[in-house]
Chains A and B, each alone.
Chain A
Amino acid sequence: MSTLRVGDPLDKNTDIGAVNSAEQLARIRALADAGEAEGAERWAPACELPSSGYWFPPTLFTGVTQAHRIAREEIFGPVLSVLTFRTPEEAVAKANNTPYGLSAGIWTEKGSRILWMANKLRAGVVWSNTFNKFDPASPFGGYKESGYGREGGRHGLEAYLDV
């Protein structure tokens, strides 16, 4: 994480760009502060931020529970909340315990476990042993409160056929 570069979003060497508004930056800060206040442990690498504009350093929280705001609300910033689990069933239950369902990720060495988990996760996109992949030929969109419909693929095209 300490190798991540925060800076100009138009520079291709940049890993993390700017936050889009002062309002959103305030929201990220408020949620991160709430994470600490609710007892989670915060960690961020020493990281130089540009002097002007809206920036937030990549931040990690451990010791997060499902009751924490940083686990329940969408932060939309470079903040990762880490929850732990002991069994795959527990991981699925925690992942699904949210009103949102845009995407999910699974990392495991066992093929059948990937398919088992992908089947149980209530999310529109499941990345297994990969993350953040997008393609115009692949439908993207969420379950529950993460939106209506799909973009991309046959499902994305289908919406244009209802005229």
Chain B
Amino acid sequence: MSDRNDRLSVLKTYKLFVGGTFPRSESGRVYEVTDAKGKWLANAPLASRKDARDAVVAARKAFGGWSGATAYNRGQILYRVAEMLEGRRDQFIHEVADGEGLSKSKAGLQVDAAIDRWVWYAGWSDKTAQIAGSANPVAGPYFNLSSPEPTGVVALLAPQDSSFLGLVSVIAPAIVTGNTAVVIAAEGAPLPALSLAEVLATSDLPGGVVNLLSGRTAEIAAPLAAHQDVNAIDLAGADAELATELEKAAAENLKRVLRPQAVDWSADPGTGRLLAFLETKTVWHPMGV
């Protein structure tokens, strides 16, 4: 960051993003974020269990409005976010290059792919029902229709190996269908996520739709996996041992669980993550004159 801070001697304080605002961790804790070579980059908030619970409350509060918005409107809002990401491209390249130890050109490819992916998922907003819904030919005089609906509040453990492209690849598919999210940023490279929050905060995305926490993944994920008001959890950022522990806690209230798997974040993502956090609602209605 030094080349960017020649004039500005005040160091940037990265903050959490909860309910559309930027609180510090209620615990007051921070941790040191270093680049791939171990050089200090910034202090990031070390979120606590209380921060995780606050984030769930914010996400639940935002769910009614966001899931009730038209699919077209959600798509427009997300597309606008992609436009704003493009405007901050240089900042993200900088943070991804530092955090992941990539050259500027390699980091540039990651950021471009992430923005393209955000646009791609934004386009799915009014198209998921076509691939996940059905008109069912029941044996009787009934009009019977199944449609996909968001499952609710989704906890997302962002992948540890891809601080921006991986992050976007788990957030965008979860929220485009109307879910709201509590996201745990990559533990070692949380800065792109905390900067993404600054983009979301100034976009038309309602506060609380995406809530971003930085800190120790295992510490924040445990209360989220056990939380009775969280409907689903994406374990992308958990190692095998942590994933098992979290999946056990998640079973308590039958959370929908997406298990961690080896993912090439630069490959075509398919519709898996989009469809993972949907419920199918089937409505029966009698037909007759």
Contacts and interface: CB of A to CB of B under 8 A. Distances in A.
Interface of A: 99, 114, 118, 121, 123-130, 133, 135, 137-141, 143-148, 150, 153-155
Nearest to A120: B68
A128 B281 CA distance: 13
B285 A128 contact: yes
Contacts, number: 81
Interface of B: 134, 136-140, 142, 144, 146, 151-152, 228, 231, 253-254, 256, 279-286
The main secondary structure of chain A at its interface with chain B is loop
Interface centre among B134, B137, B279, B281 (most CB of A within 10 A): B281
Contacts of B256: 148
Contacts of A127: 284
A135 B286 contact: no
A114 B285 contact: yes
Nearest to A141: B280
A127 B138 CA distance: 14
A135 B140 contact: yes
Contacts of A133: 138, 140, 142, 284
Contacts of A126: 281-284
Nearest to A143: B279
A155 B279 CA distance: 10
A133 B285 CA distance: 10
Nearest to A123: B281
Contact of B146 (A114, A138, A148): A138
A21 B35 CA distance: 63
